[in-house]
A and B are shown apart, each in its own frame.
Chain A
Amino acid sequence: MNSPHPSNPNSGDQSPTNTPVSAQRNAQTNLQSSAHAAPEPAQGSASDVAGELFTHGLLTYLHDDTASAQSQRVSAALRLIDADGRDRSVHGPSERAAGRLVLPRLQPYMKPIMAMAASLVLVGAVTLLVVPTASTASATVTVQASISAMRSGGDRRYEVRALHDDVTMDDAEPIAVVDTRAPNLLVLRGRSPDGRPNIAGRDANGLWGIRPDGVIDRDTPRRAWPRWSNLGQQTLFADSVDALLDEMTKGYTLERRDDQTRDGRTQRHIIGTKKDPMLPGAQTIDIWIDPASQVVERLELHFVPPPQGMRQPGLEGDDRGPGPGGRRGPGGGPGDDRGERGGRGERGEPREPGERGDRPGPDDRGPRPGRRGPGGPDRDRGPGGPGGPDGPEGRPDHDRPFPPPFPGPREGGPRGSEDRGGPGGPEGRGGPGGRGHNPPKTIILQRVNAPAFDASWFSPEAHMQGASQQTPAAAPTNTPAP
C-alpha cells in the first residue's frame, strides 16, 4: 500500500508496507534498554512492527499519562508558548493566508533569518527551526517535574539567610528555619530583633501565626509572618510549595543553565528572570534541583533595591496578604526527608526551654548546617532579627502600619544591632557589627537535613509557650553528604 506520508510532508509515496523490517532490530533493542517493556526487535512487516509500537504506546499512555498529568503537561506547554513572547493575533484574510490560519507577517528582522534557515535545509530532510528556548523548555519541564515531586509528599527543612553587601554566606546566620510537608503544611520559625520568636505556619486549617502575647492568630495570621517574607505583593512560604513554584513559572522567564556539581552531586540549575521588572519581588531567582528527587535544594532570590525613598506599589498600610490576584512569591522550599544525607549538621532544632526564649528558634546551633547546595555568593551579611509581629519598637504590629516591606527602606530607620547571635532579618535592623544595614540583596533558602516531623508539628499548638516541647523525632546525626 503506497500512500503519502502525512507526517512527513516532504516525502512522497511510501514503499510498500509489507516488507521485512529487520533494520528496526537495532532501534528496538535500544528502545528495550531505555524504555520499559518496549517492543522487542520485531520480525515481520512494517505493519506488524507498527502495530506493536502502536499498542505499546497506547498501553503506556493509558497507564502512565493520567488526565491530571496530561493537564499539567498541557499547561506547561501553554506557558512555554506564552513565554515565547510572540503575539500572533489574527488579522483579516490575505492572499497568503487564504485557507490558512490567519497570522501576521513575520517581523521584518525575521525574514533574513528565515531565509538563512531555509538555506540550511538538506535535500530530503527538513530542519527544525532553531528553538532558542530549548533551555526554556527544559527549564520549564524541570520546574514542573519539581512541582510534581513536591506535591508527592515528604518532610523537608530549609534554612533562610539574608545576605547584605558586606556579608558572605559563611558569615550569614540563618534568620529562620522553614519546615514543610507536602502538599501544603509549613512551619516558619524565626526570631525578631528583640529575641522573641517569630512563629507562623500553615496547617490543615490554613495559615496561622503566634502573636507575641502567645495567642494563636488565624484571623490575621500574616501579621505573624516575618517581614522579610513579605515580598511586595508576594509572600514567601504563604502557600504550598508547588503553588509557589507554579506562580514562578508564570511570572518569570525560566532558563536552564549548565548543571553544577555541589557537594559531589550534580544539580540542575534554573534561572528565572522576572518578566515585569516593575513588579515587586525578586528580580532574579536561582534554583538548584536534585535531578534524582526533583526536589529544590537551594533557592536564591536576588533583589534590586528600589531607589531611595521609593516604596513598592501597593504596599501601603497593613495588608500583608497577597496582592491583587493573590499572587504569591516564589520561595518556600520543598524538602524531603534526607536523614541519610549529611552536610554539616542538623540545625534549627527546637531549643531547650530556658535558653533564649522558650520557643524553638533557628539559632540552636549545633554544627553548621548541612549545605548541599553551593556555597553561595560572597556577599552580604545577615542583619538583625526578622521583622516580627512586634514591629520595630516592640509594639504589636496591628497597632501601627507595617513598615515598608522588604526590600524597601525600613520605616523609621534601621535598628541597631541587638543580637549578634540571633537570626537576622533582612530589613536592615542591624546585624552583626552594626546598624543601618540596607535591605539584603539576596535571600537564600538552603535545604538541610530534616528530622521526621511529628504529625502535629505543623499546628500552632505544638509551638505555644508552655506546651510540651514537642520536637521532631530525633534528628539524624551529623553525617556528611554521601
Chain B
Amino acid sequence: MSEPSELPSAPRQRDPSARDLFEILVREHADMVTAYLRSLLGRSSAVDDIFQRVMLTAWRRLDDYDRSRPFGPWLRGIAHRLVLEHYRTSKSAPACMDPAVIGELDRRFERLGSAPGDTFREKADRLQDCVSKLPDAMREAIEHVYARGMLFNAAALALGSGEEALKKRVQRARALLAECLDSSLTSPRSALSPALNSPDLSPRHS
C-alpha cells in the first residue's frame, strides 16, 4: 500500500481497526519523517521526542486527515510545526521558518518519495551514489563529517584542512549532492550529475 487513497473506504471482510491502518502508515512513512526532522534538527536529540509526538499528534488528528491528499506531506506539516514549537519552548533560535524554503524542502521530499524504490531508505540510498561521484576532497569531507560523525574541527584536523575551508567544502558538496539527487530522480540510478563532471570542481581548498 503506497498511497493513502488506496485504503478501502468500506469495511472489508476483516474489519481492520484504524489503529492497524495507522500502524501501516507509520511504518511506511517513519523513515521519511525521520529524515525530514534531520533536515531541520540534524543530530539533535530532540529528533526522537519530536518523532514520537508527530505520530501521536497524527493519530489524534486522524479525523482531520483528508484522505484525498497524500499522507506524507500531512505528516511533514505536523513535524514542521512541532519543530517550531520545540525551538520556541527551548528558547533557542527558530528553525527554518521561511515558507519558501519549507515548501521547497517539502517538494524535494515528495519527489524523493515518488522515486522508484520500495522503501524510503532504498530511495535515499541514491544519495550514496552521488557521494561516490564527488571529487575526492569533497567526498572525504562528507565521509568524515557524516559517516564518521566527526565535528568540523576534528574532521578538519584529520584532513589537514582549515575548519572554515572544510565547512565551505561540505557546503559545496551538499549543494552538488542536491543537484545530483535531483537529476537522478528523473533518470536511472546510475545517472551522474553533469555538475559532478565539471573540471571546475577539482579540489583546491586546503
Residues of chain A whose beta carbon lies under 8 Å from any beta carbon of chain B:
3, 5-9, 11, 14-17, 19, 21, 23-24, 26-31, 34-40, 42, 46-65, 67, 70, 73-74, 76-78, 80-82, 84, 86-93, 97-103, 106, 126, 128-129, 131, 133-134, 137-138, 140-141, 144-145
Contact = CB atoms under 8 A, between A and B. Distances in A.
B60 A131 contact: yes
A73 B53 CA distance: 11
Given A55-B181, A77-B55, A103-B18, A60 B77 contact: no
Contacts of B174: 39, 51-52, 55-56, 59
B11 to A, nearest CB: 6
Contacts of B162: none
Interface in B89-137: 92-110, 112, 121, 124-125, 127-128, 131
Given A15-B99, A101-B67, A57 B38 contact: yes
Interface string B68-88: 111001101110111001000
23 contacts: A6-B106, A7-B103, A9-B74, A35-B44, A40-B171, A42-B171, A49-B96, A51-B174, A53-B39, A54-B105, A54-B178, A55-B174, A57-B40, A58-B112, A58-B127, A59-B142, A65-B34, A82-B19, A87-B17, A103-B18, A106-B63, A128-B81, A137-B56
B48 A88 contact: no
Contacts of B103: 3, 5, 7, 14, 17, 46, 50
Contact of B9 (A53, A98, A126): A98
Nearest to A137: B52
Contact of B149 (A63, A67, A126): A63
Contacts of B97: 27
A34 B42 contact: yes
B80 A8 contact: yes
Nearest to B68: A99
A141 B56 CA distance: 13
Contact of A70 (B34, B93, B179, B182): B34
B100 A16 contact: yes
B146 A37 contact: yes
Contacts of A138: 49
Interface in B150-178: 151-152, 167-168, 170-171, 174-175, 177-178
